[in-house]
Amino acid sequence: MTADKNPDLAAEAAENRKARLRGMIFQAGPLIALVLLMAYLSFASENFLTFDNLSNVARQSAFVAILAVGQTYVILTGGIDLSVAAISALAASIAAVLLTQPLVLFGMDFGYVPVPLAVLIGLCVGIVAGGLNGWLISRFQIPDFIATLGTMTAFRGAALLVTDGLPVPSFNAGRQLPEWLIWLGGGQIFGVPVSALIALVCALAGWYVLRFTTLGRAIYAVGGNRAAAHSAGISIARTKIMTYAISGLLAAIAGIILVGRLNSANALMAEGEELRSIASVVIGGTNLFGGEGGVWGSIIGAAIIGVLGNGLNLLDVSPFWQRIAQGVVIVVVVIFDQWRRRTMTRV
């Protein structure tokens, strides 16, 4: 019997279509919010919708966007990483010191480290620091929040030791940061910021891993139902360690790009950016309890935060009010997200 001949089946099919449409609208919520915000700012300020200003927004948002990709991985497993900004500072500080100062170990001067090796060491520092987070959490069953809160402080302290609490490279005589590194942070390709292109590549790689690899399926499984994932033979500890290691690698990449943008490094760089990365993930629609979400939503969330900050600056809003506005936006988005999930569950 067809739906046309059975009113009950027809009504059920219509309700299913409405539910799917509602779900698509909810999922597109962050993108719709970004478009509406940009539309409003384009009318509120004649300087907003200019190529130079949008390029500046993309450059400034790239750092948070890269952090947000790694943070998405962590939150999808049901965790949270408060140490990403500290890892960025530590990895970038070590790389900057190696790039500008002779390597001295045990009183022996080994001269300058080759530039590719210095950058590689910085990236490895990020991987090791992130992996350490995952190992501590899985080995000692420490809540992610507490573990990364502790390592955040420890990593900042380590960065202070590396730099002696002074900016790099100005704290001692040595060679300057390489020009290509400055280009990564502040250069352009056909008018598009290089840092934004790197953020896009990181997002594409992050999306591919989540969508097409065994690790990606394990991340969703661990965040969705840890007991079921364990029963299916998925190693919770290995997944956690690999997830945090990826987050650490992305944090190191973001830190090195930030060094290029600032033409300097210091142990306190990117303070508070861990909260912006978390906010980007939440605004992008990833479930804080894990198992649902994706990289592209987080990229849109980072763009919303960047556009909002830029727009408030153009409108000459006090920095104090900007903090209030950004905080309110995050809370409202979380409230809406929870309402959306309850609505979808009922449907």
Share of the chain above pLDDT 90, in %: 65
Residue 206 scores a pLDDT above 50: yes
So what's the pLDDT on residue 313? 93
Structure-token pair, residue 224:
């969705």
Q: What is the mean pLDDT of residues 219-247?
A: 94
So what's the pLDDT on residue 323? 86
Structure-token pair, residue 331:
């809370």
- For 16-76, give the DSSP string: HHHHHHHHHHHHTHHHHHHHHHHHHHHHH-TTTTSHHHHHHHHHHHHHHHHHHHHHHHHHH
* CATH code of the domain made up of 51-346: 1.10.3470
> Measuring CA to CA, which residue among 46, 61, 83 is closest to residue 314?
46
Phi-psi label, residue 215: left if phi above 0, alpha if psi -120 to 50, beta otherwise: alpha
Q: How many CB atoms lie within 10 A of CB 191?
A: 9
At 171, the pLDDT band (50, 70, 90 cuts) reads very low
> Measuring CA to CA, which residue among 308, 240, 30, 268 is closest to residue 164?
268
So what's the pLDDT on residue 285? 86
Which residue has 């990483």 as its token pair? 81
Structure-token pair, residue 59:
């450059």
Helix (H) or strand (E) holding 142, with range, is: none
Q: What is the pLDDT of residues 276-326, one digit of tens each?
A: 999 999 989 898 888 889 999 999 999 999 999 999 999 999 989 988 988
Q: What is the pLDDT of residues 1-52, one digit of tens each?
A: 455 556 666 666 666 565 565 555 666 778 888 999 999 999 999 999 999 9
Please answer whether residues 67 and 84 qualify as being in contact, where contact means their C-beta atoms are separated by less than 8 angstroms. Answer: yes
Q: Which residues pair with 265 in a beta bridge?
A: 168
Structure-token pair, residue 114:
């080759």
Residue 342 scores a pLDDT above 50: yes
Structure-token pair, residue 165:
């609490």
Distance of alpha carbon 121 from its chain centroid, rounded? 21
Backbone Cα Rg of the chain: 22
Phi-psi label, residue 234: left if phi above 0, alpha if psi -120 to 50, beta otherwise: beta
Helices 319-346 and 7-27: angle between axes, nearest 10 degrees: 160
Positive or negative CA dihedral for 3, 342, 332, 153?
negative
Enter the pTM of the model.
0.90
- Higher pLDDT, residue 69 or 24: 69
Long-range contacts of 108-115 (CB under 8 A, 24+ apart): 112/175, 115/178
Q: How distant, in Å, are the alpha carbons of 18, 33, 60, 291 from that of 53? A: 40, 19, 11, 36
